[in-house]
Structure 1
Amino acid sequence: MKSLLVLVLTSLISLSSFAKTGDALKYLPVQDGGRIKPYDSFSREMLEIIYGKTKFEGRAATEIVLTWMLSPQAWQDKKIFEVRNHQILDAMKLSKEQRYFSGDELFAGDRFQLLRQELQAKRETKEKLNPYYQAVQRLENQFFIFQEIAAGRLLKVLPPKEGNAWISVSDLPAAQQELFLELTKAFVNNIGAIAKGESASTLEQTGAALDAAVLKFEASARAENPAAYDHDTKIKAEVHYNDFHPFRWAYIFYFLAATAILLVWVLNKESLMKFAWVVLGIGFALHTYGFGLRMYIMDRAPVSNMYETVIWVSWGVIVFAAVLELIYKFRMILFAGTLASLFALVIADFAPAVLDPTLTPLEPVLRSNYWLTIHVMTITISYAAFFLAFGLADIGLFYYLRGEEKHHEQIRSIVMGIYRAMQIGVAFLAPGIILGGIWADYSWGRFWGWDPKETWALIALLGYLAVLHARYAGMIKNFGMVATGIVAFSLVIMAWYGVNFVLGAGLHSYGFGAGGVEYVSAFVAVHLLMVVYVAIVRQGRTKKV
């Protein structure tokens, strides 16, 4: 199965990657973050940390980051450092109207050093850093990264004859140093020709010269340690992944599918349903392809951080929505699932500061592909079913506002979808928790320890079990199912996001992150208020009758 996946991915990459002249630099292997990656990924990640985007003034990260090393003085006055925290701007006496600052503005005075001292004192207390200190830490990282790249110490391009740590540009042996100097000269000639708007033939020549210089350096590096430099296929796959953006294409097609389903109702055209299924299928294929690429590049299930779980959950939403739609043919289920998955993918794409999309090695506690696959993927796929129930409940509230009697059939269909989705979620969450206990015994020597992640997963399970039992016993009617579809999902949000990004405590430290708390809190609050508002409106209508 694995060999088949590799064959399919390799074929697709070779068909869809049309490297331009001058692009060889993107494929240069670099050691960073505990793995070997293409220079394309390295430069994107570095620019993202410093500037908050993967391009600067329309220029690619591969160009920008290398010029930091070749000519750092040229960047002294450039406003490339992103600072969004107003408390930091106050502390440094900088304008809150600005978002980007030069290195001189931020790091030349004493104020930055005072902030670093504050951060170090906070670290010594071993408390979880609040958003202010997290922002200070990011500023410190920005300073460190720029300085290390400028000094040539962060870009590690040569494998050693023995050992694992690659050699940085600043420490290259004479032979490779000469070859890298040729590479940088060819790079400068190429970007100079681009900046001057030279003819296509001139650009082709300078690009070809750059490619030749890169390949010459790679040949020398491979000769040093062929086994350590054997990453060609995965390097190409990762550059293709960076350029292709499969998940972005997936949500574009999901948007088309949702629009088509909506038009089926608005225009009363049944023929559009076939189109909806086709574009949904294309979107799902792209979604799956993106997953396959990440699995192939990293040799693991792509569910090790918040970004990857959001992508996985959105994939599961489509699966469950399609299955339930094929069984019940309500259309509302497919519409809700498509919208929910679209929403999750858009959030993942537009919030890289919170949901880090970079490909990172597994933390030691996760280095068991077997347990990672069966526990984490089982737990998180349950969130997909609950998210589908949440999406259906949102639509249900809309129909209750439009008129309960008038839209009785639609509400009945929605409630059935919510109930089935909750059942599916519980069927995955319960064994997922048990499997997590087995893994905990394997990793930490105890089955259950009331860790925050464990506790909130159990709370979510008990919450949904209570709803299902109450429905079965007739204690919860249709509106109750719609309301609990939204309210109960807040338990999932806490188990999924809150423990890692708000509490930041427990043995599941590999998943901790920061940012977005105010947006998630507002999202939950708005939905809870919607439930209360619809309940009040419904109560008022009942009294009038």
Structure 2
Amino acid sequence: MKIFSVFILLLSLFVFAETEPSTENFSASIPTTVNFENRIRPLESFEILLAERLCEKRKCADFSAAEILQNILSGKADSQKIFAVNRATARDILHLPKDRRYFLRSEFDDVRSLLRQYAEREDDRPLTLELIRLNDALNLYDSLQAGMLSQISIPFENLPVSEQRKIRAEAAYYKTNPIFFSWILCIVGFLTAIFCRIQSRVKSRLFLLGIFLQSLFAVSLIGIFIWRGIGEGRIPLTSLYEMILCISLGISLTTIFLAVKMKESILLIGAGMNLLFMLLLRSMFSAGDSFESVSVLLNSPFWLSLHVFTIAAGFCVLIFAAFLAHWQLILRKWKKSPDEKMKNALRILLRVGFALSSLGTILGGFWADVAWGRFWGWDPKENAALLVILWTLFLLHLPRGKMISEKSWEALTAALLLVIGFCLFGVNLLGTGLHSYGYSPKLLTVFVGFSLIDAILIAFLGMPKAKK
């Protein structure tokens, strides 16, 4: 009971720490519902999007998203450094101080014409995208001070009942911030899994607690999907953010299923994977997730959702297999040979993941046929998905030919994580193709950094022993 009490106390502290300040002091002229970027949304959603446009975070100059809007409308924001310029090259072009990342509105007065010129360009270079984002942020800021908010406001009572239900769900989602509950469950679950490995006296109790926490984490993600589905009015599987959440849910369910037979090792692997994906979400989507309409480019949301769910399930199983291969390499480094249960589990995971990934890719072809008029077009993302399937098929056939050792095969299986990472995130860095909609400003640093670290780790663990 002490463990549960501490757990509840931690949750309470974090909940109060993450709660947004009250907006009761808003003036009566500020609407509760707006029509922004072709979507009717609650004020809370608009505030977060505004903060993301200006400083790419939920807070600018230590002001919350709600306070930023207040300060812009009152004129106080003119004296606050809330415009982010992340690239040093962009600061050089705009003649801004190099030792700062955040700037006043007035510091851009002399370079507005230059920014407008960049905004007219059509290339996808990171520098151009940064300057286009900055120009759009300045336009939004100026429009708000010119009275745009009154022009885009929509009386809540005039909306249809179905739209009111979506608005309420979205507003409650931002106020409650349920993803933060999942984040805390993930951290506590990972710490529990570690203690379960090192504490022999209470191992059985810690193991049950770990399974319980994984179950709670899975339930919290299911609740988030249901909540987002109500708020978006569709199946919430049409964005990179939601796909990562779906993979995390699959990992949690796979962990619970396998841990019953393989105990502590699987629990630690699953908890570690969930922690990694939650860290990925927080680093890539620092401004938080947003509810967005399905792009015209991605029409036919039914086929899209079915494709994303199936391929996310396949990638989830294959990612679990890759992490299990990492663990087997670590055991061999400790001079402990993996048991047969673990080896069989790895082979089964590869087979199941191959089947689901293949089915998901085929369903993606049906979606592409409905949305774009062709089943397959050798798009970079399509090629990357095919690479995942071919790599997995290669792994499934290698052991039968007995051409390499078990350790080398495990290293290649561990490298499957890098192949899937390239398919999910790396392709988006190319900025080309019909699947480049999942781009994130922080994606390059996170993806390249993780890929290099994991490649070095696999090379170190899979290195053959030197002969005496």
Q: Distance in 2 between matches of 1:94 and 1:27?
A: 36
For normalisation by structure 2, the TM-score amounts to 0.87
> Does 2:342 match 1:342?
no
Counterpart of 1:333 (choices 250, 266, 269) is 266
Q: After the TM superposition, which of the residue ranges 367-376 and 339-348 deviates more from structure 2? A: 367-376
- Mark the CA change 1:53 to 1:503 in structure 2 (over 3 Å): closer, same or farther: closer
Determine if contact 2:211/2:267 at 8 Å carries over to the other structure.
Answer: no
Q: What does residue range 118-267 of structure 1 map to in structure 2 within 5 Å?
A: 118-120=118-120, 122-123=121-122, 127=123, 129-154=124-149, 156-159=151-154, 218=155, 222=157, 226-228=158-160, 231-267=163-199
For normalisation by structure 1, the TM-score amounts to 0.75
- Mark the CA change 1:505 to 1:92 in structure 2 (over 3 Å): closer, same or farther: closer
Match of 1:38 in 2: 42
Identity %: 25
- Which amino acid is the alignment partner of residue 489 of structure 1? L
Q: After the TM superposition, which of the residue ranges 502-511 and 130-139 deviates more from structure 2? A: 502-511
- Which amino acid is the alignment partner of residue 525 of structure 1? L
> Does 2:432 match 1:505?
yes
Q: Distance in 1 between matches of 2:288 and 2:176?
A: 18
Q: Distance in 2 between matches of 1:446 and 1:21?
A: 49
> Does 2:465 match 1:539?
yes
> Does 2:118 match 1:113?
no
Determine if contact 1:304/1:511 at 8 Å carries over to the other structure.
Answer: no
Q: Distance in 2 between matches of 1:332 and 1:516?
A: 30
Q: Distance in 1 between matches of 2:196 and 2:212?
A: 14
Match of 1:396 in 2: 328
- Mark the CA change 1:463 to 1:241 in structure 2 (over 3 Å): closer, same or farther: same
> Tell me, which stretches of 5 or more residues in structure 1 are unaligned?
1-16, 160-217
Determine if contact 2:238/2:294 at 8 Å carries over to the other structure.
Answer: yes
Determine if contact 2:47/2:69 at 8 Å carries over to the other structure.
Answer: yes
> Does 2:381 match 1:379?
no
Match of 2:246 in 1: 312
| Bigger radius of gyration among the two | 1
- Which amino acid is the alignment partner of residue 140 of structure 1? N
Q: Distance in 2 between matches of 1:481 and 1:330?
A: 24
Which whole-Å deviations, capped at 9, do the CAs of 1:185-224 have from their partners, x for residues lacking one? xxxxxxxxxxxxxxxxxxxxxxxxxxxxxxxxx5xx63xx
Determine if contact 1:430/1:461 at 8 Å carries over to the other structure.
Answer: yes
> Does 2:211 match 1:285?
no
Match of 2:97 in 1: 95
Instruction: Give the total of aligned pairs.
Output: 446
SS in 1 for 2:454: helix
Q: Distance in 2 between matches of 1:20 and 1:92?
A: 37
- Which amino acid is the alignment partner of residue 117 of structure 2? Q
Which whole-Å deviations, capped at 9, do the CAs of 1:54-74 have from their partners, x for residues lacking one? 2345543223203312x23x3
- Mark the CA change 1:349 to 1:18 in structure 2 (over 3 Å): closer, same or farther: closer
Match of 2:424 in 1: 496
- Mark the CA change 1:27 to 1:350 in structure 2 (over 3 Å): closer, same or farther: farther
SS in 1 for 2:41: strand
Which whole-Å deviations, capped at 9, do the CAs of 1:489-509 have from their partners, x for residues lacking one? 22212221122x222222335
Match of 1:22 in 2: 24
SS in 2 for 1:55: coil
Q: Distance in 2 between matches of 1:512 and 1:56?
A: 22
Shift, 1:346, TM fit: 2.0
Q: Distance in 2 between matches of 1:418 and 1:23?
A: 57
Q: What does residue range 54-65 of structure 1 map to in structure 2 within 5 Å?
A: 54-56=58-60, 58-65=62-69
Shift, 1:50, TM fit: 0.7
Counterpart of 2:81 (choices 79, 83, 87) is 79
Counterpart of 2:337 (choices 408, 420, 423) is 408
Q: Distance in 2 between matches of 1:478 and 1:464?
A: 16
- Which amino acid is the alignment partner of residue 109 of structure 2? A
Determine if contact 2:166/2:230 at 8 Å carries over to the other structure.
Answer: yes
Match of 1:519 in 2: 446
- Mark the CA change 1:515 to 1:116 in structure 2 (over 3 Å): closer, same or farther: farther
SS in 1 for 2:79: coil
- Which amino acid is the alignment partner of residue 151 of structure 1? A
Determine if contact 2:237/2:243 at 8 Å carries over to the other structure.
Answer: yes
Shift, 1:113, TM fit: 2.4
Shift, 1:272, TM fit: 1.1
Match of 1:352 in 2: 285
SS in 2 for 1:76: helix
Q: After the TM superposition, which of the residue ranges 363-372 and 264-273 deviates more from structure 2? A: 363-372
- Which amino acid is the alignment partner of residue 294 of structure 1? R
SS in 2 for 1:37: strand
- Mark the CA change 1:300 to 1:533 in structure 2 (over 3 Å): closer, same or farther: same
- Mark the CA change 1:514 to 1:56 in structure 2 (over 3 Å): closer, same or farther: closer
Q: Distance in 2 between matches of 1:409 and 1:491?
A: 24
Determine if contact 1:459/1:491 at 8 Å carries over to the other structure.
Answer: yes
Q: Distance in 1 between matches of 2:23 and 2:242?
A: 33
Q: Distance in 2 between matches of 1:439 and 1:51?
A: 35
Q: Distance in 1 between matches of 2:268 and 2:408?
A: 21
Q: After the TM superposition, which of the residue ranges 315-324 and 140-149 deviates more from structure 2? A: 315-324
Q: Distance in 2 between matches of 1:350 and 1:518?
A: 10
> Tell me, which stretches of 5 or more residues in structure 2 are unaligned?
1-18
Q: Distance in 1 between matches of 2:31 and 2:259?
A: 43
Which whole-Å deviations, capped at 9, do the CAs of 1:510-532 have from their partners, x for residues lacking one? 44555421331221122112222
- Mark the CA change 1:99 to 1:244 in structure 2 (over 3 Å): closer, same or farther: same
Determine if contact 1:261/1:335 at 8 Å carries over to the other structure.
Answer: yes
Shift, 1:147, TM fit: 0.7
Alignment RMSD: 2.7
- Mark the CA change 1:115 to 1:23 in structure 2 (over 3 Å): closer, same or farther: closer
